[in-house]
Amino acid sequence: MKFEEIQLPPNYIASLYKDTLVVIEQPNRNLNNSLKENAPVQQSASLKSKNVEDTTSNSTLNYLGNNEKQIAILVHDETAPIIREEWLQFISNILLACKLNVGDAAVINIQNQLITYEQLHQNLNTKYCIVFSDELQKLNLPFIVPAYQIKEFNDCTYLPAEPLENYLVADVTKSNQAKRNLWNALKLMFHIN
């Protein structure tokens, strides 16, 4: 099935845009004079890119999702601001198998921003962190573990995994082995039978 052929239920689509603000380009001429015409408009959208200010370093974490279950999913994507569609579909399927969804997580592209484990903990209160990259050391963790080895540290469970492109390759044998390893690690991480 192609990504374009997927049909979402209407209530799920409505939940995606429940907090969306529509800005009309024409100013309303009947506005109260005390309102400034160029006042900044705050905009937030469920399951859209969000910014979280880090009060210690004034840096911003950009992520996709609602982080409802404090799950950080770190990807390294050079082609998209957050994540390309086929990778997002793969992550959505993984989360669905774990009885979760993208709204439960925060998908963060570490290609575009430097992130430490302290920022994840302070800004997102991360309980689980899945790293789809060979660059676990960029988080400034005091340890390095091989792919699919779960490690608990600082009230967070870390799961380093292979880069996402390894799960979506044409070589079915390699792709299936990577998916099998990931699924076995996720079952341990989320206590799935």
Query: 8 in a domain, yes or no?
Result: no
How many whole angstroms from its chain centre is CA 177?
24
Domain encompassing residue 145: 49-189
**Confidence at residue 30, expressed as pLDDT on a 0 to 100 scale:** 38
**Confidence at residue 1, expressed as pLDDT on a 0 to 100 scale:** 67
Query: 7 in a domain, yes or no?
Result: no
User: Model confidence over 28-49: pLDDT tens digits?
Assistant: 433 333 333 333 333 333 444 4
CA 76 vs CA 107, 109, 120: distances in Å: 10, 5, 16
Query: 33 in a domain, yes or no?
Result: no
Which stretches of 13-88 are assigned E, i.e. beta strand?
49-53, 60-64, 71-75
Query: 100 in a domain, yes or no?
Result: yes
**Confidence at residue 13, expressed as pLDDT on a 0 to 100 scale:** 63
Residue 61 has pLDDT above 70, yes or no: yes
The helix/strand/coil state of 164 is helix
Residue 182 has pLDDT above 50, yes or no: yes
Query: 11 in a domain, yes or no?
Result: no
Confidence band for 59, pLDDT divided at 50, 70 and 90: low
CATH code of the domain covering residue 104: 3.40.470.10
pTM above 0.75, yes or no: no
User: Model confidence over 119-173: pLDDT tens digits?
Assistant: 999 999 999 999 999 888 889 999 989 999 999 999 999 999 999 999 998 899 9
Query: 24 in a domain, yes or no?
Result: no
Query: 107: phi > 0 → left, psi -120 to 50 → alpha, else beta; which?
Result: beta
User: Model confidence over 65-115: pLDDT tens digits?
Assistant: 999 999 999 999 999 999 999 999 999 999 999 999 999 999 999 998 889
Residue 55 has pLDDT above 80, yes or no: no
109 beta partners = 75
Between CA 134 and CA 3, with CA 67 as vertex, the angle to 5 degrees is: 70
Query: 15 in a domain, yes or no?
Result: no
- Token match 């992550």: residue? 91
Tally of domains in the chain: 1
**Confidence at residue 121, expressed as pLDDT on a 0 to 100 scale:** 93
Residue 116 has pLDDT above 60, yes or no: yes
Residue 23 has pLDDT above 80, yes or no: no
Query: 43 in a domain, yes or no?
Result: no
Residue 51 has pLDDT above 90, yes or no: no
